[in-house]
Amino acid sequence: MSSVPGVGLSIRCEELVYIYCTGDVDVVAVRGVDLDVDAGERIALLGPSGSGKSTLLGMLGGLIPPSAGRAWIGDDEIGGLTERQLLRMRADRVGFVLQGAARNLLPYGTATDNVRFAQRSISRARRSDLLQPLALLDALGLADIADQPMATLAGGEQQRVALAVAVANGPGLLLADEPTSQLDEPARDAVLDLLEAVNERFGTTIVVVTHDEEVGRRLGRTVSMRFGQVGHEGRKDGQFTVVGKDGSVHLPDEILAEWPPGTRVVVELDADHVRLTRRHP
């Protein structure tokens, strides 16, 4: 596996698809996603529940095999890795925060035990460059509960410990599913401060699924999904609608409120502008 641990990893997705069955019905959770994320970039995946954000994150982490399409983390195509290689990738180079903090933690261990356990596979030489368990916990305002068993901690505290575990190895890529969902504003800001610090110290690429637009603003780039597709992107130079390979365009919510599905629209190209005109019956 060619990428170096501790260095930001790029992401490339080509027509990524995931289909699952519920009863006798096939559901397309992710449909033809094309996405490029530069090494060291920070992005937020936004969108309503069921839009495919968490499924896409799971595919990027090698937890969910794609039904079609291809994805690369650094130079490695995820679909070409064995299960053992995927486990090694997640242990050394990709940090993952799953929804539901308890899924990320050893329930019988303390907060310090959990962070220390996450660093067990890192070489001694590289471990000296990492933030020590107490330093990580202190950055998240958790130093006073560092020696308490996980079962005694509140949900928000467990969530911050889960983030500390995910960044303990200074990963090249951090994938976090709703890491601030149960937190009040000061705790949320502490999480975002830590994400920025890890990004700056290790060059870690960060992809966060969130419903919180403030999280998106802090991370810098937003990618909005709807019906399993990327519809909009936000960057420092503005908000953009993304044209799909099939020519589809996701209109902003305020336009959809006025132009419901089935509305007939005339599309006209005028120099560098496209004009959409509603055609009334």
pLDDT digits (tens, 9 = 90+) for 69-83: 999 999 999 988 999
Asked if 268 contacts 71 with a C-beta cutoff of 8 angstroms, the reply is no
How much is the pLDDT for 127? 67
How much is the pLDDT for 74? 92
Report d(CA 53, CA 253) in Å as an integer.
18
Q: Tell me: the pLDDT tens digits for 5-55?
A: 457 999 999 999 999 988 888 888 999 999 999 999 999 999 888 899 999
How much is the pLDDT for 112? 94
Give the mean pLDDT of the chain.
86
Buried b or exposed e, range 224-252, using 16+ CB within 10 angstroms: bbbbbbbbbbbeeeeeeebeeeeeeebbe
pLDDT interval class at 125 (50, 70, 90): low
Question: What does residue 41 show for φ and ψ, rounded to 5 degrees?
Answer: -80, 155
Q: Tell me: the pLDDT tens digits for 67-122?
A: 999 999 999 999 889 999 998 888 888 999 988 877 888 888 999 999 998 888 77
Give DSSP secondary structure letters for 91-127.
HHTEEEE-SSGGGGS-TTSBHHHHHHHHTTTS-HHHH
**Mean pLDDT of the 206-212 span:** 94
Torsion of CA 57, 62, 64, 70, to 10 degrees: 80
Helix (H, G, I), strand (E, B) or coil at 141: coil
- Size of the chain, expressed as the number of residues it contains: 281
Asked if 176 contacts 207 with a C-beta cutoff of 8 angstroms, the reply is yes
Q: Tell me: the pLDDT tens digits for 215-256?
A: 998 998 999 998 889 888 888 777 778 887 777 777 777 787
How much is the pLDDT for 1? 40
Computed on alpha carbons and rounded to an integer, the radius of gyration of the chain in Å comes to 20
Q: Taken in order 65, 55, 45, 106, is the CA torsion positive or negative?
A: negative
How much is the pLDDT for 78? 92
pLDDT for 207 beyond 50? yes
Residue pointed to by tokens 């365009």: 249
Which whole-number Å values give the CA distances from 66 to 23, 32, 78, in the listed order? 20, 11, 9
Selection from 18, 14, 8, 55 nearest residue 36 by Cα:
14
Q: What is the pTM of this model?
A: 0.86
Question: What does residue 35 show for φ and ψ, rounded to 5 degrees?
Answer: -155, 135
Report d(CA 180, CA 160) in Å as an integer.
8
pLDDT for 175 beyond 90? yes
